[in-house]
Structure 1
């Protein structure tokens, strides 16, 4: 709970901050997020949870509200979580290259601050998107173990998504290098629904809704 007073000349509230006040619109933010969850059948909430976990495990360059705000404009339909995550990374990179994220409610005067220099944050997002793309391409090409390794590296949390064993990675790596005709393309096409069991724990299809954590089977 927070103490706040109504902003007298328009929408939003004044929220205390040390020796000054910040103008914000938490009630509007709540409405926007509720609507996003309804439209996406909770894909928005599940995607945000995965992204917040990724953020915590990889230096926390973004605050939670920044992740949610960017998701309001990139996670807008009922798709697979791996697809919505890719949409978010791609959108976030483009927007942060333009500048810091503006208040989605168009009330706060200042944009949402980053927890690190913009170039560092963008580089982290680009590296993560590359891992995600690689995982999808490996999976589509029939290399689920290599795909799982990329996702495990992305989330950096063995309790959430364990990496496959070293032997399994080596075996599949040999198969990959011995079959160049089966290698995934270096270009990524339209976002797709991941199909392998290796990706299912982190990217279950949106239709497979279960009342558990985002990354549970």
Structure 2
């Protein structure tokens, strides 16, 4: 088998996980049906799209979609931290969605009771073959009095509403994709896969928020990954990530911050080492190390003969050999990083 460069390995890996055209088209069609129902329920509202489909970084299998309605001042009247909670608005959205979609999707369920933020739509019909279902989170949001961002429901806190700015978030992500000539979206796809295979230390939005600060120009994927892991590990030394829109609270982590930083540090060290091996013309060693970061989408390689040849050259040139296979250093082990 012909040896592959890091560029080739990462391109193949990101193609392997990216959403298919058919999945994406069907998800967008269903999202548009929901948008029509929201528009009918709340005339004068602005329907917005957010989440991975809107951001252009969805992976397969595709299991959900996100959207919301920014209500008109008239529909928002009487709601907010100083007024009513979002339950009547969510019920209004639920009824419109049922009326508009139930005929096409006979197994459709639309849930409001017990929901923290959004109406949960279960289509009873997956977009990706083999998946149990396809769902949607549908938000009923109201304008913030400042004109910056929204109040979105949070039924689990005393005020019943949180500040957020999902519209600006989507604009920021799409701008980053454009400025980086798609490097941003392609890197985020890989990072979301890394996250899922290493205990999910970060939520998807935290990945994107950190990436917005360090992936700002077109660059090779290996360099983009290196930039992200280096930046993220450094930024989390001072605490959780700020909302890039300057509206919402700090972005919560899924694990203690010390554990998150360990995973970021380990991934950074592996990417650094893979690039070092490639620069020294050891492609199998580079692939072996990269597979530790992406164990399911970058196949492992056996670098034994390649490294043995390097050791022999080192003995001839210097009279001594470096330790191991060139895969172990002061910060890196040869075992899979943070396996589940």
* TM-score (structure 2 length as normaliser): 0.51
Deviation at 1:2, TM superposition (A): 1.4
Report the equivalent of 2:150.
Answer: 13
Instruction: Determine whether 1:178 maps to 2:340.
Output: no
Task: State how far apart, in whole Å, the 1-side matches of 2:194 and 2:150 are.
Answer: 31
Deviation at 1:146, TM superposition (A): 0.7
Report the equivalent of 2:215.
Answer: 75
Report the equivalent of 1:43.
Answer: 183
Number of residue pairs matched by the alignment: 180
Instruction: Determine whether 1:57 maps to 2:191.
Output: no
Structure 1: 5+ residue stretches without partners: 188-217
Name the Cα RMSD after superposition. 1.9
The DSSP-based 3-state class of the residue aligned with 1:151 is helix
- Give the strand-richer structure, 1 or 2: 2
The DSSP-based 3-state class of the residue aligned with 1:5 is strand
Structure 2: 5+ residue stretches without partners: 1-137, 330-340
Deviation at 1:26, TM superposition (A): 0.5
Once the two structures are superposed, the pairs formed by residues 107-186 of structure 1 within 5 Å of their partners are 107-108=247-248, 110-157=249-296, 160-164=297-301, 168-180=302-314
Task: State how far apart, in whole Å, the 1-side matches of 2:313 and 2:142 are.
Answer: 65
The DSSP-based 3-state class of the residue aligned with 2:213 is coil
Deviation at 1:18, TM superposition (A): 2.4
Once the two structures are superposed, the pairs formed by residues 86-125 of structure 1 within 5 Å of their partners are 86-108=226-248, 110-125=249-264
Q: CA-to-partner distance for each residue in 1:53-103, whole Å, 9 max, x for gaps?
A: 111011110000000000001000011010011011111011100110000
Q: CA-to-partner distance for each residue in 1:164-186, whole Å, 9 max, x for gaps?
A: 1xxx32212212322236988x9
CA contact (8 A) 1:4 1:16 kept: yes
CA contact (8 A) 1:58 1:156 kept: no
CA contact (8 A) 1:43 1:79 kept: yes
Name the structure, 1 or 2, with higher relative contact order (CA <8 Å, separation 6+).
1
Deviation at 1:17, TM superposition (A): 1.8
Greater Rg, structure 1 or structure 2?
2
Q: CA-to-partner distance for each residue in 1:143-180, whole Å, 9 max, x for gaps?
A: 100100000011121xx11111xxx3221221232223
Task: State how far apart, in whole Å, the 2-side matches of 1:9 and 1:34 are.
Answer: 24
Task: State how far apart, in whole Å, the 2-side matches of 1:41 and 1:85 are.
Answer: 16
Write out the 4+ residue segments of structure 1 that deviate beyond 3 Å after TM superposition: 181-184
* TM-score (structure 1 length as normaliser): 0.78
Task: State how far apart, in whole Å, the 2-side matches of 1:133 and 1:152 are.
Answer: 13
The DSSP-based 3-state class of the residue aligned with 2:199 is coil
Report the equivalent of 1:25.
Answer: 165
